[in-house]
Each structure stands twice: as structure tokens, then as C-alpha cells.
Chains A and B, each alone.
Chain A
């Protein structure tokens, strides 16, 4: 079982804002990174560190953290944002662990 907990599914209306969360005790000590995965494709890094976006990731993606919860926010969701999203961080032993993933549906 994962030490990082994500809601299995979230939906958002086109153009609206959605927050995807990731909970875990280790998030009090480590930042999370976030990955977008579309069917049949490899995951793509969208957020890392305090709130950093790799080159090419739209600025509608942002990250934040509070206590034991990390969040990925998409402001003005687009149809192409429909995907699975995974958080990643270290666990209590310092090893890397992924959340179970959140399936985002854009309505």
C-alpha cells in the first residue's frame, strides 16, 4: 500500500479550476513532485519542488503544500489535461514512493 494517498477520481468542467491532493506524513518533511500520464504514454513531470514547472508545462499548472498535504492545481482546465496524475515523494525511510494516482476527467 502507498504511503501517499490520492483520491482515485476527480472531475472538472472545462475552463474551471481543479485541485488534486496527495496526503502523507512524509510530506511534512519533503516536497512532492507531480506527473501527468495519458493512456499508453510515459509519465510527464509537471510540478516539482516548492512550485516549479519544467519547460513546456503550461502555467495553468501549479503546486502547493500545507502540513501533510501536497496539492496540484489546474486553473482553467483544458480538454487535453484529462489524464492520470501521480504524486511522488520520499517515504518515512527516505525511499521514493508514488501515490495511487488520480484520474482527472474534464467535462
Chain B
């Protein structure tokens, strides 16, 4: 059974960089896409971006200028950096495995971490 666990600071100051790591256990990070998704308190889900195990990435255009996702296959981990944060970036951040299907899509996120709340405040 694949399990994902987010880790990182729960409090970040405005204008600083949010950094989170997702550790994958019970399976290899290889041959899959891995994604970050966030949810502001009381609001809906927002896809942040993904990384393929080989290192290729794709980001939400609305966040692209501030987001970097990286992967460390030796540690079975992938990471998120979001720069120049504001209060609007306060959210529960989830990591998830993305199954991307060619053609008609039918993509889906099959395994999720429990989520970690990151608050942006001075």
C-alpha cells in the first residue's frame, strides 16, 4: 500500500519561501507523476503542479512564477517550494500520486497524503 507523508514548517512569514517535502513509502517513486494540491481553509482544491520521476514538471499557470517542484529518487521524496508567500497561500497542502492517461485523459490522483496546514503570518 503506497503511503505519502508531507512534512515541513507549519508557519511561514510573508514574502518568504514555503518549503514542503513529501515522502513516499510502500512503493517506488519511479515511473509515476507526483503532484502538489492545496486547499485554503473552508475552500476548494487547487492543483499546484506535478513532477515526473525523471524530473520533468508542469505547473498551474496562476502559480508558475513562484513554484518549484523537485524530486529525489534516492530518498523516494519530492518537494515543493513556493516563493514570496502571502496570506492567500495559507492552506492545507497535500501531496498525491497522479496517474496520467494518454488520449482521453481519465487522469486521476489515487494516493494522497494526510495534508499539512501551512499558515502565512508574521
Contact = CB atoms under 8 A, between A and B. Distances in A.
Interface of A: 2, 29-31, 33, 35, 41-45, 48-50, 54, 86, 88-90, 93, 95-101
A30 B44 contact: no
A90 B105 CA distance: 8
Q: Is the interface of B mostly helix, strand, loop or mixed?
A: strand
Nearest to A93: B61
Interface in B94-121: 94, 98-99, 101, 104-110, 112-115
B44 A96 contact: no
A33 B110 CA distance: 10
B47 A33 contact: no
A98 B44 contact: yes
Contact of B106 (A35, A48, A54, A101): A48
A42 B106 contact: no
Contacts of B65: none
Interface residues of B, number: 25
Contact of B47 (A48, A54, A98, A101): A98
B61 A49 contact: no
Interface in B42-63: 44-47, 50, 58, 60-61
B108 A48 contact: yes
Contacts of B110: 45, 48, 54
A88 B109 contact: yes
Nearest to A34: B108
B105 A29 contact: yes
B93 to A, nearest CB: 11
